[in-house]
Chains A and B, each alone.
Chain A
Amino acid sequence: MNAFETAAPADGLTRRRGLLVPALILLLVFAALPTLLAGFDRGYFYQIANLALIFVLLSASMHLVTGVAGLLHLGHAAFYGVGAYTAALLTSKLGLGFTVTLPLSGLVAALVAFLVALPTMRLVSIYFAVATLAIGQMLYLVMLNWVDFTKGPNGIIVSKGFELFGFSLSGRLAAYYTVATVVTLSVIAIGRLSHSYYGNALRSIREDDQCADAMGVSTVRLKMEAFTLSAFFAGVAGGLWAHMTGYISPGDFKFSESILILAMVVVGGLGSLPGAVIGALLLILLPEGLRGLGDFRNIMVGLVMFLSILLLPKGLLGEVSALRLVRQQLGAAWRTAGPANGKGEGIGWR
């Protein structure tokens, strides 16, 4: 990865700011929100909070493959489903607890992703998107139709809630803390991954895969790793979902959920982890807030997605637009600083 060593290291300012914001977020997630939730003490609010956190994880995991590596993934919900089914089946058939099933659900989803990635990762652009769509639909059909194993459309009841080494964590607040801890740790891991030289290598695939290949980046291997890693985190989210709701059915993992997750990443801005998180919160909490609109909430998802593509092509916090902003700012500074060349304009960056 020496080729990326020249990427600008974080200077003192960004490092200090880089500590403040996460600290505030951690404070919000682990102190302020639980206090609020405990204050209201309604199961419904806990459920919304947990759901939003799970979708934050899903959106963040998709950010890795779609935002950073630039691969349009249309079957993400299927890996979420694989994770959920792994947790549910391990619990209902073998009686295993949350401590064991959570890592296993991630690993099984990653394994499935690895196996389907073996033949398909050489595909590019639209072919890749369609292949992931087909894979997602195939996994969904398996969940729906393999009735002996997955109980088909009836779904599975997950009898065990959250627990840690025998301690039950199934109270409302404990469950919230469990979900929040797992999601936060995973999002931090994804953040570290995407802001490392490894992430830069993935970005090079997004920008120009042929060029990256020519520079000695093993694109197929990196794509496969990104795909598998994102499936791992989606599987973890699935495990959380299974133990949180206590009941799963194939309907939770169909194509429209994949699109919902994609919409979160697109709305938030491709390539930006905070964007993915905000996109997830927006698309989960907005429809809940607009519950009065009833049936219109799904239209909202489509409209928000369409308008954000049309009006904010880079999303709320897109990486590329942020870069352009910096360039414009610097260019303007340059211009005012250099009135020497007659027209009052510097060389600029353009």
Chain B
Amino acid sequence: MFDPYYLQQLAIGLSLGMTYALMAIGFTLIFGVLNVVNFAHGEIYTLGAFAGLVLISATAPPIVAVILGALAIGALAGFSLERIAFKPFRRFTDEASLKSRAMRESTLLSSLAVSIVVREALEIAFGSQMRSVPFEYLINTPVRVGPVILVTGDFIIFGVAAAMLIGLQYLLTRTRIGLAIRAVSNNPLGAKYVGIDTDRTIITTFVVGSMMGAAAGILMGLYYGAVFPAMGFTPGIKAFVAMVMGGLSSIPGAVICALILGISESMATTFVSSGWSDMVAYGFLILTLIFFPNGLFGARRERV
């Protein structure tokens, strides 16, 4: 009844979905805390992949070190992104301006502008062509599991993503800084009144979210073996779709929707050429926006 081929596609879809989930968490964390969309998140993904590539070509470290290096660059990128594109627009801290449309749209445009600059700078530094990852670092050694053939990358991606998700859950629910993040995302002004350093919490959120994005970037770079400056755009959009589908500020919702998205995309390539498979994400996005404005898993939100 179940063709092994579909099982195979399911496995590929799951690893794809896991990287989307890592990206989507970054989006969701930042949206939850600041109520703004970070359009430069895709570039964090690209930066993570390039950091890994540079590390590999410079010192050829073990793969764990590559991932850790990408995480460090992601954290740094998240920090500077917040300082450059978001902090200057948070001049006032009263509730009206925290929720104002002008602030939301100016940070949207500023993060967009930063993402253009980063992408073009990477193109100048590395060329716009695909750069291939050295063969011995590719994580695509085939492994046979029952009727399907998986590659080691599927396991690594799944493992790293699951570890990061559990770590995030621990951070958010068991630590003081996680408590602060949740407090700020619940009510920024109230959090400020009870003595939480909102600025530092926002920066932490950016750092954590960007580390996840960078991890997704390096994992995908090693999985497909190609790294190029424009690689962050499509996963960024997909992760955004997952966030909207999941209900904007629900992390479990975003993860589940990212998995759904990854699986339906890899299934779609069975029926249509891969060029059209991007259509799935955009179609999902439009349908969700029209029929489930609160997302599939989101709580009811006030009208924004």
Contact = CB atoms under 8 A, between A and B. Distances in A.
B113 A138 contact: no
Contacts of A134: 241, 282, 285-286
Interface of A: 72, 119-120, 123-127, 129-131, 133-135, 137-138, 141, 144-145, 255-256, 259, 262-263, 266, 295-296, 298-299, 301-303, 305-306, 309-310, 313
Chain B interface residue count: which class?
A: 35 or more
Contact of B285 (A131, A262, A296): A131
A126 B116 contact: no
Interface string B102-127: 00111011101111110011011000
Given A127-B289, A302-B120, A310-B110, A141 B37 contact: no
B289 A123 contact: yes
A5 B235 CA distance: 49
Interface string B263-304: 000000000010110110011011001100100000000011
Given A131-B289, A137-B282, A302 B114 contact: yes
A137 B278 contact: yes
Contacts of A259: 112, 116
B286 A125 contact: no
Give 9 closest A-B pairs by Cβ, nearest first: A302-B116, A306-B113, A302-B117, A305-B113, A145-B275, A134-B282, A299-B120, A298-B120, A134-B285
A137 B237 contact: yes
Interface of B: 37, 85, 88, 101, 104-106, 108-110, 112-117, 120-121, 123-124, 233, 237, 240-241, 244, 273, 275-276, 278-279, 282-283, 285-286, 289-290, 293, 303-304
Nearest to A307: B113
Given A72-B105, A127-B293, A138-B279, A145 B113 contact: no
A210 B135 CA distance: 58
Contacts, number: 100
Contact of B290 (A120, A129, A313): A120
16 contacts: A120-B286, A130-B289, A131-B285, A134-B241, A135-B286, A138-B279, A138-B283, A141-B279, A255-B233, A295-B123, A295-B124, A298-B123, A302-B116, A305-B116, A310-B88, A310-B110
Most chain A beta carbons < 10 A, residue from B101, B110, B121, B240: B101
A219 to B, nearest CB: 13
Contacts of B279: 138, 141
Contacts of A137: 237, 278, 282
A129 B240 CA distance: 12
A144 B240 CA distance: 23
Given A145-B273, A309-B109, A309-B110, A299 B121 contact: yes
B42 to A, nearest CB: 11
A306 B114 contact: yes
Nearest to B276: A145
Nearest to B128: A295
Contact of A299 (B101, B117, B285, B293): B117
B200 to A, nearest CB: 23
Contact of A133 (B110, B237, B290): B237
Contacts of B88: 310
Contacts of B116: 256, 259, 298-299, 301-302, 305
B237 A305 contact: no
A131 B284 CA distance: 11
